[in-house]
A and B are shown apart, each in its own frame.
Chain A
Amino acid sequence: KNEVEQSPQNLTAQEGEFITINCSYSVGISALHWLQQHPGGGIVSLFMLSSGKKKHGRLIATINIQEKHSSLHITASHPRDSAVYICAVGGGGADGLTFGKGTHLIIQP
């Protein structure tokens, strides 16, 4: 069974700061997902990665398959980035996605 660990669990930062959220997993995977969940509860898929790096606007996601580690970066953070960010992995012999516990991010103005 894949174990997915995220750090930090909670993060409070000032507007404009560079944010990094980390995710590590224990077993080889076919893909890693970064998800965003706002207080209203809806989940949005930010990235799906199987190798390398992806960028959407101010968000960057990287994955190192050998080290079984991924990072989500937010540049020039803004209060609207406040949300829970969840890492999820697929494959590695497991059925369905296995989720991390999430990182609760608060960006203060």
Chain B
Amino acid sequence: DSGVTQTPKHLITATGQRVTLRCSPRSGDLSVYWYQQSLDQGLQFLIQYYNGEERAKGNILERFSAQQFPDLHSELNLSSLELGDSALYFCASSVMGLSSEQYFGPGTRLTVT
């Protein structure tokens, strides 16, 4: 158990809908990262927050947004969903930035039908 929690574990929704994925980092970790894993693209970095502020952005679509709250939990919002958004979404946390070890949550499997 990494200490990082993600909810829900599974999510099935229809095209055009909006969903929110939630992540709680390990106690004491200030950085939260979001990653997408799909069969064709593999693992891709989406976005990083550090202590409530956006720190880095990767291949995140404009339809996707994220935030980190004062209690350090984070939410990833996916809107106008398309079939291609079906993937595993992982959250990870670390004490600091990229030079710190990252601890991964169990992931949320999103299926868009």
Contact = CB atoms under 8 A, between A and B. Distances in A.
Given A42-B104, A42-B107, A99 B98 contact: no
Count class of interface residues, chain B: 20 to 34
B51 to A, nearest CB: 17
Given A30-B99, A48-B101, A97 B45 contact: yes
- Per DSSP, chain A at the interface is strand
Contact of A44 (B2, B57, B58): B2
A35 B2 CA distance: 13
B70 interface: no
A45 B107 contact: no
Contacts of B58: 95-96
A50 B100 CA distance: 11
- Per DSSP, chain B at the interface is strand
A87 B47 CA distance: 19
B22 to A, nearest CB: 17
A41 B99 contact: no
Contacts of A86: 43
B5 to A, nearest CB: 12
Nearest to A100: B42
A10 B46 CA distance: 27
B44 A45 contact: no
A31 interface: yes
B107 A41 contact: yes
B90 A43 contact: yes
B44 to A, nearest CB: 7
A21 B109 CA distance: 28
A106 to B, nearest CB: 19
A43 to B, nearest CB: 4
- Which 4 residue pairs spanning A and B have beta carbons closest together? A96-B45, A95-B56, A90-B98, A43-B104
9 contacts: A33-B102, A35-B104, A41-B109, A42-B106, A45-B104, A48-B100, A50-B99, A97-B102, A99-B45
